[in-house]
Structure 1
Amino acid sequence: MSISTALIPFLEHDDANRPLMGSNMQRQAVPLVRPQYPLVGTGMEDKVAHDSGHVLVSTVEGGSN
């Protein structure tokens, strides 16, 4: 399963053509100006962001202000 397919929520309940259309739409998507947290997620979002290399990951625990 590809990363874009893994980001489709409720994948196991969809028709076989829906994941193909969804992954193609995600490839063509543009980023939002003001992104918000999704109401429904798959749990793969953190892994995709970390693996993309476009996220800063701290080596120490703590928060930012």
Structure 2
Amino acid sequence: MKTFRNIVAHDYVGIDKLIVFQTIAVHLPDLKQSIEHLIRTELDQHNFETTDYELSKASDFYRHIDFNQIK
């Protein structure tokens, strides 16, 4: 993910727009589900501080995560 971001952000000439679109359309929904599952698992195992979880829910950075489905 980090490498993909760096290529998109810094290598404008070598970007294949179709690959970027396919990555967004196909792989991002799966990644979102994986992240939500990870958060749910960590919450169930009490590996997150409640304060950190609440701050994440309130943050615009995580606005794409549906916290209502998680807990």
User: TM (normalized to structure 1)?
Assistant: 0.32
User: TM (normalized to structure 2)?
Assistant: 0.30
Rg larger in 1 or in 2? 2
**Higher helix content, 1 or 2:** 2
